[in-house]
Amino acid sequence: MQIVKRDQLPWSEIAHELVGAEHGLEITILFVEAPPGRGPKLHRHPYPEVFVIQQGEARFTVNGEHADVRAGDIVVAHAHEAHAFVNSGTETLRQVDIHLSATFSTEWLDDQAV
């Protein structure tokens, strides 16, 4: 058995990161805590990503399609689909982002409109 303390995981701007390869796993998980107005810019991965919204509200863009989501919703971005999100609410956005890969592989698409 392995127990990992979330607060001891590396922090990167808006999330604690559990990189699967560092823990013998085939998935990578981000524990997002994004303040209002924050979120990653448009990007994509060569694997699917699943977003489980736990608290707050967000505006997601996946392949040019926009959706407003809230706690209890699940968003799926399939492999190679360009996606981004921003906390559109007034409280901290808490979500769990599951990358179906043991490591991160991200292509940033900053030059493309959300």
- Classify domain 11-107 at the CATH class level: mainly beta
Q: What is the tens place of the pLDDT at every residue in 68-114?
A: 999 999 999 999 999 999 999 999 999 999 999 999 999 999 765 55
The 10 Å CB-count burial string (b at 16+, else e) for 50-78 is bbbbeebbbbbbbeeeeeebeeebebebe
pTM of this prediction? Answer: 0.94
Q: Which residues contact 38 (CB under 8 A, 6 or more apart)?
A: 13, 14, 86, 87, 93
Closest CA to 14 of 94, 84, 75: 94
